[in-house]
């Protein structure tokens, strides 16, 4: 069974930092879900602070991880693998924040129902990434890593199909120009952030296969 614990000895800092980054990525998605819930209740979103805090914390974690890599003389796990995973994780809350920004600045009623399914897929993807990162501390075998990554690939594929359906509705539906621009932007960003989750899963699988 693959175990980063064995590779990095008893030093927990890399586990802590990677898990912290994955947790902020997942939290940013939860903030988006909460924002859409407010919109369903016709409450106006007042602030982007939750999104900003998640992104800032993740950035701090990524910077700390880079510093720890520089201070650690020998890391049996390749530094590039740790850094690549950290960078992939950071891109999740960064992209989710952009979605929140678009929603907050939009001047008219938000047709949130148009992308609720897409957000649900994103929520599932972020949860899967968090679970995979946590498994690294415990030790994860290649078969389990493949299974978890396959679920991420399925979510990403479902998101692709959903985006096509949403675009078809957008192009043939009764939307004004402003709504078309807004929704197309949101669909694009949602697809991009789900791809970020898939990328993180691919990196984790590569790490597991490399050291299994």
Residue 42, by phi and psi: left (phi above 0), alpha (psi -120 to 50) or beta?
Answer: left
Average pLDDT over residues 134-143: 85
User: How far apart (Å, rounded) are the C-alpha atoms in residues 24 and 95?
Assistant: 12
What is the tally of structural domains in the chain? 1
pLDDT at residue 44, as a whole number = 61
pLDDT at residue 99, as a whole number = 94
- Dump pLDDT digits (tens) for 61-99: 888 888 887 876 655 457 788 889 999 999 999 999 999
Query: Residue 149 belongs to a domain with what CATH number?
Result: 1.20.58.220
Average pLDDT over residues 46-75: 80
User: How far apart (Å, rounded) are the C-alpha atoms in residues 212 and 50?
Assistant: 38
The two three-digit tokens of residue 72, written as one number: 């650690």
pLDDT at residue 130, as a whole number = 96
Mean pLDDT of the chain: 86
Q: Whole-prediction pTM value? A: 0.87
User: Can you list the alpha helix ranges (DSSP code H) found in 79-176?
Assistant: 79-105, 116-138, 142-172
Give the structural domain span for 109: 4-211
User: How far apart (Å, rounded) are the C-alpha atoms in residues 88 and 133?
Assistant: 12
Q: Integer distance in angstroms from the first to the last C-alpha of the chain?
A: 6
The two three-digit tokens of residue 18, written as one number: 């990677």
Decide which of 138 and 29 is more confident: 29
- Dump pLDDT digits (tens) for 149-187: 999 999 999 999 999 999 999 999 899 999 999 999 999
CA atoms within 13 A on the CB side of 150: 6
Average pLDDT over residues 105-117: 83
């Amino acid at each position: 069974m693959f175990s980063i614990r064995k590779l990095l000895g008893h030093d927990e800092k890399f586990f802590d930092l990677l898990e912290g980054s994955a947790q902020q990525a997942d939290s940013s998605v939860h903030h988006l879900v909460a924002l859409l819930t407010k919109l369903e209740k016709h409450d106006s979103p007042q602030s982007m602070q939750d999104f900003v805090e998640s992104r800032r914390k993740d950035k701090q974690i990524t910077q700390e991880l880079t510093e720890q890599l520089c201070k650690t003389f020998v890391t049996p796990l390749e530094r590039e693998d740790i850094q690549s995973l950290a960078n992939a994780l950071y891109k999740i809350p960064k992209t989710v924040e952009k979605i929140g920004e678009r929603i907050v600045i939009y001047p008219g009623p938000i047709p949130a129902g148009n992308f609720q399914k897409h957000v649900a897929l994103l929520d599932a993807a972020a949860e899967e990434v968090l679970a995979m990162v946590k498994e690294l501390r415990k030790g994860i075998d290649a078969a389990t890593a493949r299974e978890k990554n396959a679920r991420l690939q399925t979510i990403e594929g479902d998101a692709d199909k959903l985006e096509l359906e949403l675009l078809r509705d957008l192009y043939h539906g009764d939307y004004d120009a402003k709504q078309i621009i807004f929704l197309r932007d949101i669909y694009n960003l949602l697809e991009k952030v789900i791809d970020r989750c898939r990328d993180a899963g691919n990196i984790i699988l590569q790490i597991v296969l490399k050291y299994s």
